[in-house]
């Protein structure tokens, strides 16, 4: 898991729950992790004793300063009589990670304290061929390879440094040298390298000392030296203060009446906006999560753009009033769209290249070609784009996307259907665990086609509008005929297809069936919708003290215990809140939704970070954290709640 991420859209720094730096992404969020998830160690020597902050002797509190992307970290070691207070941030408009370190002497005597900061870069995600050296011109340590440079400095200046080999023969790394309280070593090392700096502090009884530490990231030696000069000229204190104020202005830029919502909900709403921002690349990609721990379990990670997640996140940002971020996302989508076919592939890297995937284009058993997609990733982008336009009325912006994005996607959605049933053809579901004709996918395609029809009407192309509207209504009728079950009195999860393209009903309960009402396919008061949502509550609410909604019965992904049907997911629980909001006829009816918003706030980390899943046993985070989609869904649900509350 990761906690308290800080970033600015080009530099992202994440921490683990021990407050070790674990990921440094640059110059794209989610791409080029120059640590590969290995920790940067932080140690303290005092009175002949040494301790790394990941040791159990340290008590840790990891939070943010309110309404900022500046951390508020307290580390206490009673055995050493030392307390450390740290504030970390990434400058809002420069690629500089900045940290203020205050060391408090809890004892009644003057003491000599030494702080050690270790750097385990693996530049370009590869430890081979790196160089670490001391630069006497900038009085700093620099790690580099090719077009990536990382400059390390402090104010006041660090007292000692060491560069050396790591993970080579009997050389573990320079961090081992620090454990005797002294470092000393060469001024340059190449190969598999690391470095450590030492800062000496003489601290009076019951007193404190502080210093500033930073890492500047750039594409050249000249660039990082210029960044280093900038921070020294501006002073680290002013840089930290500016960035703190910037984020407070950013998160409060839109005056909002929270209508009596609790402090916990309002605080998590703002924290979610800030955390979502750290996960968005400045070129437009919205990354699902940036937590490299999952790589150990899956040999891959979540540091990709899924356009499905991205569309939901963009919609939440639009609801909250941040259209400049979503415009970049929609332009990014237009640039990566498959020009010939009009659909999006499974996922993409932050630079727009196609990412790793498991959606096959060939069925090895049936010996036939497959379209390797989950169709909701195409439909949701068009749906979210209309929601964007409907709110902000940016005619010139959507005109630029009309033919290269909207028309191509809409034509694909019209054509990618079975001739007899008129349903969308089989594709992967939003959970990416099965192929078929899924209720959620069908609902999203209806939403996407209706959005495309709205655009076509707007630009006077009635032939397109009529085509898209007709296709949407055919799908709605087909959903009633083929995806509704008289036996169960509700909708099916899907129609599974065999090798002969014959349909087989899948009556499983799935939280994603919220799409029936969410995309305005059916009215939330429709008996079939009500029965479907009631079945979700009855079957997927996780019994026990924690609660929450699981994805589907017997969900094995990251499952904590077989005693539960699955782990509760933040997004699934909030989808139930959205249904209660849509179905409400009075403010009293909104209480059930409010309870789920409070549930979400209760199950966030102390910092406000939301994971993908929650342990049904103890409420601890499961899978990646933060999950961008979890945070954006909380924002969207709060916005939906406030809107409905005013209507009632």
632: buried, middle or exposed (CB in 10 Å: 19+, 13-18, 0-12)?
Answer: buried
In a domain, 25, yes or no: no
The whole-number average pLDDT for the span 42-67 is 98
The whole-number average pLDDT for the span 228-244 is 98
Domain closes at, from 204, 228, 251: 251
Alpha-carbon distance 218 to 148, whole Å? 6
Alpha-carbon distance 23 to 26, whole Å? 10
The answer to whether residues 345 and 373 touch, using CB atoms and an 8 Å cutoff, is yes
Q: So what's the pLDDT on residue 499?
A: 59
Whether residue 438 is found in the same domain as residue 517: yes
Neighbours of 210 (CB within 10 A): 15
DSSP for 45-89, please give it.
EETTEEEETTSTT-EEEEEE-TTSS-EEEEEEETTTTEEEEEEEE
Q: So what's the pLDDT on residue 500?
A: 60
Can you read off the two tokens belonging to residue 537?
Answer: 């509550």
Q: So what's the pLDDT on residue 473?
A: 99
Whether residue 525 is found in the same domain as residue 549: no
The answer to whether residues 363 and 429 touch, using CB atoms and an 8 Å cutoff, is no
Whether residue 484 is found in the same domain as residue 549: no
Place of tokens 């784009």: 385
Enumerate residues 6+ apart whose C-beta is below 8 A from 545. none
pLDDT at 503 over 90: no
pLDDT at 475 over 90: yes
Q: Which domain holds residue 610?
A: 256-283+541-648
Whether residue 484 is found in the same domain as residue 618: no
Domain closes at, from 506, 538, 570: 538
pLDDT at 190 over 70: yes
Q: So what's the pLDDT on residue 512?
A: 99
Domain closes at, from 251, 268, 298: 251
In a domain, 34, yes or no: no
Can you read off the two tokens belonging to residue 37?
Answer: 């998830």
> Shortest CA distance to 644 belongs to which of 90, 80, 188, 261?
261
Alpha-carbon distance 64 to 364, whole Å? 51
In a domain, 291, yes or no: no
Its pTM stands at: 0.97
In a domain, 296, yes or no: no
Whether residue 566 is found in the same domain as residue 500: no
Whether residue 237 is found in the same domain as residue 269: no
In a domain, 288, yes or no: no
Please write the tens of the pLDDT for every residue from 129-169: 999 999 999 999 999 999 999 999 999 999 999 999 998 88
* Ranges 9-23, 39-53, 168-182: which has the least confidence: 168-182
Whether residue 549 is found in the same domain as residue 436: no
Whether residue 278 is found in the same domain as residue 241: no
Whether residue 412 is found in the same domain as residue 525: yes
The whole-number average pLDDT for the span 57-77 is 99
Please write the tens of the pLDDT for every residue from 10-32: 999 999 999 999 999 999 999 99
The whole-number average pLDDT for the span 75-90 is 99
Alpha-carbon distance 609 to 631, whole Å? 8
The answer to whether residues 572 and 551 touch, using CB atoms and an 8 Å cutoff, is yes
DSSP for 318-332, please give it.
HHHT-HHHHHHHHHH
202: buried, middle or exposed (CB in 10 Å: 19+, 13-18, 0-12)?
Answer: exposed
Place of tokens 């209706």: 450
Report residue 289's pLDDT band, with 50, 70 and 90 as the boundaries.
Answer: very high
Instruction: Give the containing element (helix H, strand E) for 467.
Output: helix 462-478
Q: So what's the pLDDT on residue 501?
A: 67
The whole-number average pLDDT for the span 574-591 is 98
Alpha-carbon distance 18 to 21, whole Å? 9
Question: 19-32 burial by CB neighbour count: b if 16+ within 10 A, else e?
Answer: bbbbbbbbbbbbbb
Please write the tens of the pLDDT for every residue from 395-408: 999 999 999 999 99
359: buried, middle or exposed (CB in 10 Å: 19+, 13-18, 0-12)?
Answer: middle
User: Per DSSP, what are the bridge partners of residue 52?
Assistant: 43
CATH code for the domain of 55: 2.70.98.10
Q: So what's the pLDDT on residue 339?
A: 78
Can you read off the two tokens belonging to residue 563?
Answer: 């005693």
Whether residue 157 is found in the same domain as residue 266: no
Q: So what's the pLDDT on residue 560?
A: 96
The whole-number average pLDDT for the span 562-568 is 97
pLDDT at 90 over 90: yes
In a domain, 7, yes or no: no
**Pairing outcome for strands 490-491 and 484-485:** antiparallel
The whole-number average pLDDT for the span 376-389 is 99
Cis peptide before 626 (omega within 30 of 0): yes
In a domain, 13, yes or no: no
Q: Above pLDDT 90, what percent of the chain?
A: 95
Whether residue 207 is found in the same domain as residue 227: yes
* Number of domains into which the chain is organized: 3
Whether residue 494 is found in the same domain as residue 520: yes
CATH code for the domain of 386: 1.50.10.10
Please write the tens of the pLDDT for every residue from 297-325: 667 899 999 999 999 999 999 999 999 99
Looking at residue 350, the DSSP 8-state letter turns out to be T
In a domain, 468, yes or no: yes
Alpha-carbon distance 343 to 490, whole Å? 30
């Amino acid at each position: 898991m990761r906690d308290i991420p800080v970033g600015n859209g080009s530099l992202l720094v994440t921490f683990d729950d021990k407050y070790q730096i674990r990921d440094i992404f640059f110059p794209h969020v989610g791409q080029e992790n120059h640590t590969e998830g290995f920790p940067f160690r932080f140690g303290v020597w005092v009175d002949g004793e040494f301790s790394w902050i990941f040791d159990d002797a340290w008590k840790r509190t990891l939070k943010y300063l309110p309404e900022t992307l500046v951390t508020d970290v307290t580390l206490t070691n009673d055995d050493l009589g030392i307390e450390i207070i740290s504030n970390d941030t990434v400058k809002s408009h420069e690629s500089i990670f900045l940290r203020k370190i205050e060391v408090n002497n809890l004892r009644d005597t003057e003491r000599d304290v030494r702080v050690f900061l270790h750097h385990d870069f693996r530049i370009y995600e590869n430890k081979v061929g790196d160089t670490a050296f001391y630069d006497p011109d900038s009085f700093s340590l620099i790690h580099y390879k090719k077009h990536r440079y990382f400059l390390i400095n402090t104010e006041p200046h660090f007292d000692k440094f060491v560069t050396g080999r790591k993970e080579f023969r009997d050389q573990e790394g320079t961090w081992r040298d620090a454990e005797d309280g002294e470092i000393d070593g060469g001024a340059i090392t190449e190969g598999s390298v690391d470095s450590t700096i030492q800062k000496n502090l003489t601290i009076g009884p019951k007193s404190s000392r502080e210093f500033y530490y930073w890492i500047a990231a750039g594409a050249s030696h000249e660039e990082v030296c210029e960044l280093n000069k900038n921070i020294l000229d501006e002073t680290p204190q002013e840089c930290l203060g500016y960035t703190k104020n910037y984020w407070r202005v950013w998160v409060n830029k839109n005056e909002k009446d929270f209508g009596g919502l609790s402090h916990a909900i309002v605080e998590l709403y703002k924290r979610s906006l800030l955390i979502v921002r750290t996960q968005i690349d400045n070129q437009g990609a919205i990354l699902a999560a940036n937590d490299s721990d999952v790589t150990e379990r899956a040999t891959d990670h979540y540091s990709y753009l899924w356009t499905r997640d991205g569309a939901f996140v963009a919609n939440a940002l639009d609801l909250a009033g941040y259209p400049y971020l979503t415009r970049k996302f929609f332009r990014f989508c237009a640039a990566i769209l498959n020009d010939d076919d009009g659909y999006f592939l499974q996922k993409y890297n932050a630079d727009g290249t196609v990412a790793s995937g498991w959606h096959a284009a060939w069925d090895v058993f049936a010996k036939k070609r497959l379209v390797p997609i989950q169709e909701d990733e195409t439909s949701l982008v068009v749906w979210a784009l209309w929601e964007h336009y409907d709110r902000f009325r940016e005619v010139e912006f959507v005109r630029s996307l009309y033919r290269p994005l909207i028309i191509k996607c809409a034509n694909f959605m019209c054509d990618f259907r079975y001739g007899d049933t008129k349903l969308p053809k089989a594709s992967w579901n939003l959970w990416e665990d099965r192929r078929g004709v899924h209720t959620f996918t069908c609902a999203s395609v209806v939403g996407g086609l209706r959005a495309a029809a709205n655009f076509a009407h707007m630009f006077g192309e009635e032939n397109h509008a009529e085509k898209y509207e007709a296709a949407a209504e055919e799908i709605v009728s087909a959903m009633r005929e083929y995806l509704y079950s008289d036996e169960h009195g509700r909708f099916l999860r899907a129609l599974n297809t065999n090798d002969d393209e014959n349909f087989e009903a899948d009556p499983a309960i799935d939280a994603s069936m919220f799409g029936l009402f969410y995309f305005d396919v059916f009215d939330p008061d429709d008996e079939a919708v009500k029965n479907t949502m009631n079945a979700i509550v009855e079957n997927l609410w996780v019994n026990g003290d924690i609660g929450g909604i699981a994805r589907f019965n017997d969900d094995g992904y990251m499952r904590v215990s077989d005693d539960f049907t699955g782990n509760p997911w933040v997004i699934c629980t909030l989808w139930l809140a959205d249904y209660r909001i849509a179905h409400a006829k009075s403010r009293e009816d909104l209480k059930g939704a409010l309870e789920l918003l409070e549930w979400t706030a209760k199950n966030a980390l102390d910092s406000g970070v939301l994971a993908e899943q929650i342990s049904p046993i103890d409420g601890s985070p499961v899978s990646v954290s933060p999950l961008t989609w979890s945070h954006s869904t909380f924002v969207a649900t709060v916005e939906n709640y406030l809107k409905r509350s005013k209507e009632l």
